[in-house]
Structures are given as C-alpha cells and as structure tokens.
Structure 1
C-alpha cells in the first residue's frame, strides 16, 4: 500500500532496521546525568522592559542611519539591507505596541475587578 508516495513496506523495513540496530549487543543507551537545577537569577520586570525597549530603539536608530546613508549615496549600504533593517524596526515597534496594548488591557481588567 502506498502512503503519500512512500510504500508502507519501506516504512516497516526502516522500523525493523532501527529496532535491530537498537538491539545490537554492546550498545548501551546514553546516560543522561541530571544535576540539581541552579536557581535562576531574578529578573526585575522594569529591567526586562527597559532592555526590550532599548533593543527596539536600537533597531530603529540602525534603520534610520542606514536609510540616511543610502539616501546620501553611500555604497556600503545596499537597498535590500536598508529595507530589511527598516522592516525589522517596524516589526519590533509593532510588537512593542501590541505588548503595550495587552499591558493596558490587563491593567484595566485588574482595576475593574470587584474586591
């Protein structure tokens, strides 16, 4: 029987080969050593938000700089590089706006809760 261009007997043969390979003597399964997880460092919300906003700002500054260089005829900046940087900055900004909208919505939901 053919399934999506692959004969089911081929699939069965492959499974049999895998099982035979796994059952070969002398092969031992890998040992995974687990160590106690170290406590994750605490990250303050304000610090995380500031670093995210700094990243968005940096991408916008880079896009603006590349746009100015391209407009002035600088050969080190190609049109495609400038457009990619501009689109990245735009996507970063739109994502920031969406996060802001969610935070404002959550704030309003919390403020309207009955206590």
Structure 2
C-alpha cells in the first residue's frame, strides 16, 4: 500500500514516477532493472507439484497505516505552505525580479545535479 513507485502484481508505475522514487530512495535516476526470468525446466523433467495458493499480504498494522496517512497529510500541508509562501513573496514584494531569479535557480540547480549525476 502506498508504494506507487514500485511495480507489483499487474501494476507498472509511470517511468518518471519510478525514476523519481529510486532517486529519493537510492540516489539513482534510473528505472529498476528487470527481474531475471525463471529458467525453463528441461524437456524430460516431471512437472512440479501444484503449490498451495499463496497467501495475500497481511493487512498493515493500524499504527503503520496511521503513520503513512500522517506522512501524506504532512506532505500536502508542506506543499500548501510552500505555495502560499511563494504567492505572498511574489504578490507583496517590490523585488519580484530577484525573487523569480532565485526561484528559478532553486529549481534549476537541483534538476541539473540530478541530470549530471
């Protein structure tokens, strides 16, 4: 649950989301390498016995789920606070040009570091 940057089951995340997830977790801007395929059994080998049905993943503990929702709420509030701060800085400042240059540098420098690394 909430691992939208990792492929699981029939779900394949968008490439950009997968790359950004790996950048956040592993500091690598690349998709996950594909898992190796299972080797085919030899032609004369007997078929393996049927496996019992795999159990579904256990439900997350309530404390873990509460922590995940708290982190999501915190992220939304942080983004809202940042947007309001940018709006107030640009709306009520006489130095809009300097603020825009600093804002663009704050976006361009990290993006350049990701692309160069």
> Is the pair's TM-score, using the shorter chain for normalization, greater than 0.5?
no
Q: Which has the higher contact order (CA 8 A, sep 6+)?
A: 1
The alignment's TM-score, normalised by the length of structure 1, stands at 0.31
The alignment's TM-score, normalised by the length of structure 2, stands at 0.30
Higher helix share: 1
